[in-house]
Amino acid sequence: DDSPTPQRPADVPQCVTLEIKDAAEDESTKGAVDVEDDEADFWAQMGFAVEEAAAPAAEASSSRPGMGKKRKSVRASIVRSVPKAVEGAPAGSEASDDQGMPTGGKYYTATLPSGQFGAILYSTKQVSKNIYYTAPPSFIENIGNRSVVAYTSSDSGVDRAGISVGDILLKVEGEEVTGPKNAMGQIRKECNSRHGFSGINLALWKPPPSISVTLAENQCMVEYHIKTTTAPATSFDWKSKYVVVGGIVSEPNVINMYYGKRDYDKAVSEITASQPRVSVKIKSWSLAGGRLLTPKPKTVHYSTKKTPWYYFVVLTQKGKAIKVAHPMLDGLKPVFEGVKRAIKHDPYTM
């Protein structure tokens, strides 16, 4: 069902006051916003801590049309920030340390807890067009065929061990691994001998701050039904989707939308299985030949919302106007930057 969610109540007026302007680097976007209780699940998915806040007596006695007495005020506060890419990767040749890795990186060890492994390992060259997009060729050449953590699923063993996308696996139980296939073979061997992943010790390396690890994904609000290239008239026209540009199971210039991160995790698991299949619903468009209609994010302020939303519009080659929004500028940036890279990657638009 592609109808906008949540459904617009019949008695909510179609026309609301809008204020649209260019987005600025505004510190006021970092903090807390008030949301309705029926939106709490969405904000929880996005990494916000949602808790009830006492509502004034006058407010408590009122209710939104079509919602009965279910209105109550909640508070959504940021509990984790979206990682920002560090600009300015070094040019030229990469100096190596005494272990053969580029200088400036951080060595660390991690022990897997119980549960599923929940990670996919690729070679450096395989991820050079997405998570290492901004890294210089000398960095890719220096790393060689090392095992890069290209993806982690939510709450997996790797995720709970503190291992991040972009980190490089060097050793499994003290034994050096030479590539993704060899690394997974060693991990499976240890798993079989222990009857699980719990307790497996890994030695890893985290790239230096000068190397940007880019993840173009986040839970956002989207709209792709209305043909106009402006922001929708009401907040009810938007729906919540987990937006991924490129990613581990797609081409760099494709934008995919899932109901949530769990659906994305499931899709990755199914697509990378020995017998690939997809059981989750995915909305997908190619950005090849597309055009970003908002070189910088804009804001739209609905009269039903206390704070503005940040959004951008991208037009596909076939004329589909895709709008993506987020209440925080930092929350929109990963997807926005991913779309810019996807369009730049397309040889027909370079």
Read off the CATH number of the domain in which 184 is found. 2.30.42.10
The reply to whether 195 and 257 lie within a common domain is no
Same domain, residue pair 115 and 142:
yes
Q: Are strands 298-302 and 291-292 parallel, antiparallel or unpaired?
A: unpaired
Residue 37 lies in a domain: no
C-alpha closest to that of 330 among 24, 42, 84: 84
* 124 and 169 fall within a common domain: yes
199/219 same-domain check: no
Spatial contact of 262 and 156, defined as CB atoms under 8 Å apart: no
Which residues on neighbouring strands pair with residue 301, listed in sequence order? 19
Q: Which of 206, 224, 253 is the last residue of a domain?
A: 206
Distance CA 328, CA 105 (A): 30
Boundary (domain end) residue, out of 175, 206, 237: 206
Q: Where are the alpha helices (DSSP H) in the chain?
A: 40-45, 57-60, 137-143, 157-160, 180-194, 261-271, 329-345
What pLDDT is recorded for position 158?
A: 92
Specify the DSSP element, H or E, that contains 33: strand 32-36
218 touches 334 (CB < 8 A):
yes
pLDDT of residue 182: 94
- State CA 121 to chain mean position distance: 18
Q: How many residues does the chain have?
A: 350
- Based on the domain organization, do 232 and 334 belong to the same domain? yes
Q: Is residue 30 part of a domain?
A: no
Among candidate residues 100, 121, 140, the one with its CA nearest the CA of residue 182: 121
Phi, psi of 169 (to 5 degrees): -85, 125
pTM greater than 0.85 (yes/no): no
Residue 42 within a domain: no
Record the tokens describing residue 150, joined without a space.
């290209």
CATH number at residue 294: 2.30.29.30
Residues 201 and 221 in one domain: no
Tokens of 155: 């709450």
Residues 6+ apart with CB under 8 A from 57: none
Q: Please tell me the total count of domains within the chain.
A: 2
Residue 288 falls within a domain, yes or no? yes
Kindly state whether residue 73 falls inside one of the protein's structural domains. no
Structure confidence at residue 219 (pLDDT): 95
Report how far residue 171's alpha carbon sits from residue 167's, in angstroms, rounded to the nearest whole number.
Answer: 12
**CA-wise closest residue to 221 among 236, 240, 202:** 240
For residues 228 and 192, state if they share a domain: no
Q: Which domain holds residue 194?
A: 106-206
Average pLDDT along the chain, 350 residues, taken 10 residues at a time: 40 42 49 47 48 44 40 34 39 71 93 89 85 86 90 88 94 93 93 91 93 89 92 94 90 92 91 84 93 95 93 95 96 94 64
Among 206, 234, 256, give the residue marking a domain's end: 206
pLDDT (0 to 100) of residue 24: 52
Identify whether residues 338 and 242 lie together within a single domain.
yes
Asked if 335 and 214 count as a contact pair (C-beta separation under 8 A), the reply is no
Domain match, 268 and 332 both: yes
| Whether residue 224 is found in the same domain as residue 183 | no
Task: Please check whether residues 261 and 308 belong to one and the same domain.
Answer: yes
Shared-domain flag, residues 221 and 200? no
Residue 194 maps to a domain = yes
Give me the half-sphere count of Cα atoms (radius 13 Å) on the Cβ side of residue 163: 31
In a domain, 189, yes or no: yes
Extract the tokens encoding 217.
């994904």
Q: Rounded to the nearest 5°, which phi and psi values hold at 334? A: -55, -45
Residue 163 covered by a domain: yes
